[in-house]
Amino acid sequence: MKRPPPLVCQVEQSLRRLGVSGGLVVAVSGGPDSVALLRAAREVRGAGLLIAAHLNHQLRGPESDADEAFVRDLCAGLSLDCRYERLDVRGVAGAEGANLEGTARRLRYDWLARVAGEAGAGWVATGHTANDQAETVLHRLLRGAGLKGLRGIAARRGLAAGVAVVRPLLKATRAEVMAYLNEVGQPYRQDRTNLDPRFTRNRIRHQLLPRLAAEYNPKIVAALTHLAEQAEEGYAAEEEQARALLAAAELPPAGTLLVFDRARLAAAPRTRVRELFRLAWEREGWPMGQMGFDAWERVAAVAQGEAAAADLPGGIRIRYRGAVIQVGAAP
């Protein structure tokens, strides 16, 4: 019996390791990574429920429509059920005054969760690879990310009630993806915007990472993916301890203000205090887009008695009053 291609074996092992069972929705853009994932998942899943899902963002005009047509033909050739949707992402982003890329990502995952829920599938798979992981870690490192950011792309995370997103190709390199597609003679689409050097991620992908591999470490992708794995382990432990500190240090609120025991915060490690407040910010739904390391340091400085107060992005203010720390919307 002929042995399956290495990438198929990787996908099978990843799905097993991630605990995937039952129905699976595969997000397919038409690009090489998602097409390879769909082909490999089809070989692995056999007769199990497998659905391809393609969202046309309508951002590239005829090219976006050609991507959709390609995915339709691909699914027909593989005898796979495929769900399609068209969304005016640019229009939504404009109406909301939001970032285009962030809006596209949010709408895409919301739609994928809806597709999975309607199909009775508990899993959504995306085609992120080890190269994507390396690019993400390097991008965040350049922006000054902490331990949380260096975790990169999660192999598995919750997406909606009863639905999780998984990345079965996260340990596979782009070279392995291309080798598989060449082996099975599978064409794919190329998004020209992925070559545009105006985008930082594209410069990292096409300029910085190749230079690092050529001049510093030929295994830079593996090094960065290992860093993400170690950051994940370290962050998980720190987050658990921060949650325990949050539960112990938080007092009943004063109106709309959160209140914390100053003595408990002053005695805690600095990194844990920063993480405690990040968890509180996230829980309260306060703006976090501009909360970089310096902002979290200002929060920790007040919490640990080094400053009296600090004004923060999003109109949030932290100050100490006697034995407590108060945080909330600035008056």
pLDDT, position 98? 82
Contact 214, 133 (CB under 8 A): no
Q: pLDDT at position 144, please?
A: 80
Helical segments of the chain, H only: 6-17, 32-45, 62-78, 89-96, 100-119, 130-142, 174-184, 200-203, 209-215, 220-249, 262-267, 270-284, 293-303
Over residues 205-244, the pLDDT tens digits come to 999 999 999 999 999 999 999 999 999 999 999 999 999 9
What is the average pLDDT across 159-184?
96
Strand order in the sheet with 257-261: 250-254, 257-261, 324-329, 316-321, 309-312
Domain spanning 6-224 has what CATH number?
3.40.50.620
User: Would you call 136 helix, strand, or coil by DSSP?
Assistant: helix
CA angle 268, 272, 275 (to 5 degrees): 145
- Taking residues 37-42, what's their average pLDDT? 96
Phi and psi, residue 313, nearest 5°: -55, 150
Domain ranges of the chain: 6-224, 255-329
Distance from C-alpha of 328 to C-alpha of 331, rounded to nearest angstrom: 9
* pLDDT score of 1: 61
Out of 63-67, 71-75, 144-148, pick the least confident: 144-148
Side-by-side strand order, sheet with 50-56? 81-86, 50-56, 24-27, 123-125, 163-166, 156-160
Tell which wins on pLDDT, 144 or 70. Answer: 70
The backbone torsions φ and ψ at residue 25, rounded to the nearest 5 degrees and listed phi first, read -105, 130
Taking 90 as the threshold, does the pLDDT of residue 23 lie above it?
yes
pTM across the whole model: 0.86
Determine the pLDDT at residue 317: 97
Residue 79 pLDDT > 80: yes
Q: In the 8-state DSSP scheme, what is residue 29?
A: -
Which pLDDT belongs to residue 249? 97
Query: Has residue 107 got a pLDDT over 90?
Result: yes
